[in-house]
Chains A and B, each alone.
Chain A
Amino acid sequence: MKHYIAAEFNPSTEITGGAWYTDGSLDSDFIGVLKATCLKFVPNLKVATLEGFVEAVKKSRVSQVELSKKQIEELVESLVCDNELMKVKSTGIGEFASIPVGKVCYKRIDKGNRVSGAMASIPCGVCPQISICTPDGIVSPKTCVYYNTWLDF
């Protein structure tokens, strides 16, 4: 929905969508660059705090507007949803030695050695027709085209 406002006023973030929106649309490129900056700050298998991310984004000068701690937290939490970062609590020992016990911090996820999903690696696991597939039906494992492709590589 378009809103009109006098030129001397700045619209509130409730209307513009805040730092993440440009012309009413989500600024995916800007968000992508900020996320990449955050990830670069955490080398593999090391630990970072939210304050560390805030500092890293500030130093990188990627953003022309100053981003609040809350906004950086939103970015970092979305990296957790992306499975790029793992949210943990400091144990105060080892790699957490410099972080107070119990403080929330973030670790980079090493995806290299992860166990891959069993169901996702067979045709049935990703099949959009699984709910109508039956042993002797029109959609069945014996006649399945996804199986044909999978087995005749």
Chain B
Amino acid sequence: MASQYGLKYAVHIITSHFGNLVAKVCECLLRKGPLTLHNLIRFTELTPLQVKNSLLVLIQHNCVQAFIEESGVGDGAKLNTQYIALFNNIIHRSRFSKFLAIVSKELGEECLKLFEGLLQHGRLTLAQIVDRAISSTKGSDIAPGAIRETFLKLLGSHFVERCPAPEPVLSPPNQELPSSAKRGSKSAKLQKIETETLEQRVSEEAAPSEAMRFLLTTDAESNVDGGKDENDSSSSLVGEKRKYDALELDKEGEATNERVILWRANFEEFIRRLRHKACIEHVRHLGNGAVIVLSAMLEATRSAENKVKIDASAPLSLNSIYEEVIKNDAGRNMTFDRVRSSLIELGCPPLVKAFNDSYIIDFKAIIDLAQNDEVESIVLKRYGQEAYKMFRALSQAGHLLETDKIAEQTFYEKKDTPKVLYKLWKEEYLHMEKLQITGARQSQLLLWKVNKKNLWEHVLDEMFHAALNLSLRLAHELEKEKELLNPPQSRDRIIRVRLVLESAQIKLDDAIMLFHDF
């Protein structure tokens, strides 16, 4: 379940993009969880047509997923279509500009134009993508084949994927095995079911198999340019390093021939790229060499990542790392010894670990460090230097510490220490427990601790709150500007204000991803 301000921010995004009506339906789903159409109409008090149209918009834009949940067994089993809001996809809408920048940098202008269409419209068939591309370049001839090739580049980079099934059937948890957990012990599978949210289960059940996800092949699709191309390489697997499930391919191949395939942006790949980018930024202080080497390692191991939030990369030998480094302009002149010494720098603190003549990127260590830095910078700015030191002492200890012990560690007056700690506790940055000492004299000790899990959730909620505030303030400033008569000073001011607010939004969104997506 998303936090209080996470929900408010999500509703704000939907309101800005699609209006109040659609936002009302979305908000109802976000607050109440999955609902049937009947209940959605009842709770929103909108007309059935309004609710249906809103749902269509939300599904089209990948913000809601329909699913059928089995309830009961045997003859009494019921199949109800319910709708669930996809919180993560809604938040991704606020970072479309980042996704566009990635496509533009990696694949160029032509791919960017096609990809823009997918973001604008949510999901499109290949025919619609081609038509849109042709109609947007009036006066110049573009062959559908060329557009298809551009689309294949997007597919090859995994920036686009097949849309999920419209109404997957979700069995009750004790009967269901997650489609993606095809291996592993039964206890591991059951544990996966328990820790997954309903949103994750629905998304996994709806998702096409890995074999089909980036596959562009059906008779319907290949007729886009007017005929079959026997040399069409698109019928071969795109993304060859993905696991190939022959059984599923046979089953699904038949079904897809009868449907027109819809395509959408693959948010997972963009979040992966942004995660890698964040890791690089957080080692920049170690110098250029470390940045080049880490970038090369990320590039080399990216395709082996089967999910975004992996703890460690695939192992790479020193030779493989060196070969990858010298492929790029930045690393072309790096010597083997320099690569090795950069790996040593990355090893302390251990962000890259050496293991059996191989090197592994420790994503968890890099992300943990980045998260700690972010929270500590808030504590420093908001509560001052002494609170910052105490917070760090507690954070590093990882367990309860008594007030005097904290004072000794940070060289602060014992009589003044409780006041500082109390302020942090009041604002939910610290956890506090009281210990009664019974003996000759009764006394009470106060014990303090940084409860990371709770604090990280609290900080994330504050970040969503701040993101909402930035957005509201920007809208307010632009509204105010329209009402004025536009003197030159006012124009200069609004340009400056926009730059400040939009830059802050981009930077804050990086921090939100650090706590929510990475």
Give the interface of A toward B (CB within 8 A).
20, 25-26, 28, 31, 74, 77-78, 80-83, 86, 88, 91, 93-94, 96, 107, 110, 112-122, 124-128, 130-131, 133, 135, 140-142, 144, 147, 150-152
**Is A91 within 8 A of B344, CB to CB?**
yes
**Is A142 within 8 A of B476, CB to CB?**
yes
**Is B507 within 8 A of A118, CB to CB?**
yes
> Given A78-B389, A88-B349, A93-B344, are A118 and B511 neighbors across the interface (CB < 8 Å)?
yes
Complex CA–CA separation, A77 to B410 (angstroms): 8
**Is A120 within 8 A of B411, CB to CB?**
no
For A80, give its contact among B344, B370, B396, B468 (CB under 8 Å). B396
Q: Which 8 A-B pairs rank lowest in CB-CB distance, beginning with the nearest?
A: A117-B377, A124-B466, A113-B285, A141-B469, A118-B511, A120-B381, A94-B344, A120-B377
Chain B residues with CB under 8 Å of A114's CB are 285, 373
Which residue of chain B lies nearest to A131 when distances are taken between CB atoms in the complex? B427
Listed residue (A28, A125, A135) with the most chain B CB atoms within 10 angstroms of its CB:
A125
**Is A126 within 8 A of B381, CB to CB?**
yes
Known: A78-B411, A115-B281, A118-B511. 17 other contacts (CB 8 A): A74-B408, A80-B392, A81-B410, A93-B344, A115-B285, A118-B510, A119-B377, A119-B508, A121-B507, A125-B381, A125-B382, A125-B462, A131-B427, A135-B468, A135-B472, A140-B472, A151-B501
**Is A141 within 8 A of B473, CB to CB?**
yes
Chain A residues with CB under 8 Å of B511's CB are 117-119
A-B contact pairs, 28 of them (CB 8 A): A26-B413, A74-B408, A78-B409, A81-B410, A83-B392, A88-B349, A94-B344, A94-B345, A110-B285, A112-B285, A117-B377, A118-B504, A118-B510, A119-B463, A119-B466, A120-B377, A121-B504, A122-B466, A122-B470, A124-B466, A124-B469, A125-B462, A126-B378, A126-B381, A135-B472, A144-B473, A151-B496, A151-B497
**Is B466 within 8 A of A151, CB to CB?**
no
- Say yes or no for B445: interface residue by CB 8 A criterion: no
- Say yes or no for B465: interface residue by CB 8 A criterion: yes
**Is A118 within 8 A of B465, CB to CB?**
no
Q: How large is the interface on B (under 10, 10 to 19, 20 to 34, 35 or more residues)?
A: 35 or more
Chain A residues with CB under 8 Å of B473's CB are 141-142, 144, 147
For B374, give its contact among A25, A96, A119 (CB under 8 Å). A119
Total contacts A-B at CB 8 Å: 131
Which residue of chain B lies nearest to A141 when distances are taken between CB atoms in the complex? B469
For B284, give its contact among A107, A113, A142 (CB under 8 Å). A113
**Is B282 within 8 A of A125, CB to CB?**
no
Complex CA–CA separation, A45 to B381 (angstroms): 26
Chain B residues with CB under 8 Å of A140's CB are 472
Listed residue (A107, A112, A117, A144) with the most chain B CB atoms within 10 angstroms of its CB:
A117
Chain A residues with CB under 8 Å of B466's CB are 119, 122, 124-125, 130
**Is B393 within 8 A of A124, CB to CB?**
no
**Is B462 within 8 A of A130, CB to CB?**
yes
Chain A residues with CB under 8 Å of B349's CB are 86, 88
> Given A117-B378, A120-B380, are A94 and B341 neighbors across the interface (CB < 8 Å)?
yes
Chain B residues with CB under 8 Å of A25's CB are 413
Which residue of chain A lies nearest to B479 when distances are taken between CB atoms in the complex? A142
- Say yes or no for B142: interface residue by CB 8 A criterion: no
Chain B residues with CB under 8 Å of A127's CB are 382
Which residue of chain B lies nearest to A109 when distances are taken between CB atoms in the complex? B285
Chain B residues with CB under 8 Å of A93's CB are 344
Complex CA–CA separation, A91 to B284 (angstroms): 21
Complex CA–CA separation, A80 to B344 (angstroms): 22
Complex CA–CA separation, A83 to B476 (angstroms): 39
Complex CA–CA separation, A133 to B511 (angstroms): 21
Listed residue (B344, B347, B473, B496) with the most chain A CB atoms within 10 angstroms of its CB:
B473
Query: In the assembled complex, how far is the CB of residue A1 from the closest CB belonging to chain B, in whole angstroms?
Result: 11
Chain B residues with CB under 8 Å of A151's CB are 477, 496-497, 500-501
**Is B410 within 8 A of A78, CB to CB?**
yes
Which residue of chain A lies nearest to B394 when distances are taken between CB atoms in the complex? A81
Chain A residues with CB under 8 Å of B476's CB are 141-142
Which residues 370-403 in B have Cβ within 8 Å of A in the complex? 370, 373-374, 376-378, 380-382, 388-390, 392-393, 396
Complex CA–CA separation, A119 to B282 (angstroms): 16
Chain A residues with CB under 8 Å of B284's CB are 113, 115
> Given A82-B389, A133-B465, are A77 and B378 neighbors across the interface (CB < 8 Å)?
no
- Say yes or no for B412: interface residue by CB 8 A criterion: yes
> Given A93-B344, A122-B504, are A20 and B470 neighbors across the interface (CB < 8 Å)?
no
User: A-facing mask of B480-505, CB < 8 A → 1, else 0?
Assistant: 00000000000001001100110010
Complex CA–CA separation, A128 to B378 (angstroms): 12
User: A-facing mask of B432-474, CB < 8 A → 1, else 0?
Assistant: 0000000000000000000000000001001101101110110
**Is B281 within 8 A of A125, CB to CB?**
no
**Is A88 within 8 A of B411, CB to CB?**
no
Chain A residues with CB under 8 Å of B380's CB are 120
- Say yes or no for B348: interface residue by CB 8 A criterion: yes
Complex CA–CA separation, A30 to B222 (angstroms): 80
Which residue of chain B lies nearest to A127 when distances are taken between CB atoms in the complex? B382
